[in-house]
């Protein structure tokens, strides 16, 4: 892990201390990053019985445990919100300097991202339901 970045302290001054950056990262988003990169396939190798476990809902097969374990990748989305907040702050600073429309562009990007993400999730759910229906 490289810590070649700058963070701001409580007073707003930039700090480049690698130890401070490392400690801030370990306290803030390290756990989410670590959990999101754990490959689910290794868990299936260690615990082969998980591969065939099924969650039942009202007597019907709802979802396999393998599908649930792969949801750890969704934790990466948490960081996207922090990136959009940083972009919006930077855009507001730029508009104070004299650039017009940057905030509107960032907000439009944010809405487009949310729409695409929602469509992706709905498509995945649709595909999973179709596969479940075809396998019956």
Residue 50 resides in a domain: no
Residue 55 within any structural domain of the chain:
no
In sequence order, what DSSP letters do the residues of 26-71 get, joined into one string?
Answer: HHHTHHHHHHHHS-HHHHHHH-GGGGG-EEEETTEEEEEHHHHHGG
Res 119: pLDDT: 94
- More confident: 27 or 72: 27
* Number of separate domains in the chain: 2
Q: Is the pLDDT of residue 86 over 70?
A: yes
Q: Output the average pLDDT for the chain.
A: 75
Cα–Cα distance measured from residue 126 to residue 11, given in angstroms and rounded to the nearest whole number = 49
Half-sphere exposure of 106 (CA within 13 A, CB side): 20
72 and 126 co-located in one domain: yes
Q: What is the pLDDT of residues 16-41, one digit of tens each?
A: 888 888 888 888 878 877 877 777 77
3 within domain boundaries: yes
């Amino acid at each position: 892990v490289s810590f070649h970045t700058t963070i701001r302290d409580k007073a707003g001054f930039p700090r480049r201390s690698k130890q401070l950056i490392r400690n801030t990262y370990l306290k803030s988003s390290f756990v989410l990053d670590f959990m999101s990169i754990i490959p689910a396939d290794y868990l299936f190798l260690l615990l082969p019985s998980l591969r065939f476990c099924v969650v039942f809902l009202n007597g019907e097969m709802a979802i396999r445990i393998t599908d649930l374990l792969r949801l750890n990748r969704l934790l990466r989305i948490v960081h996207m919100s922090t990136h959009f907040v940083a972009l919006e702050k930077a855009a507001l600073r730029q508009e104070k300097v004299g650039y017009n429309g940057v905030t509107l562009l960032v907000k439009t990007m944010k809405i487009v991202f949310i729409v695409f993400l929602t469509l992706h999730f709905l498509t995945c759910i649709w595909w999973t339901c179709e596969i479940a229906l075809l396998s019956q």
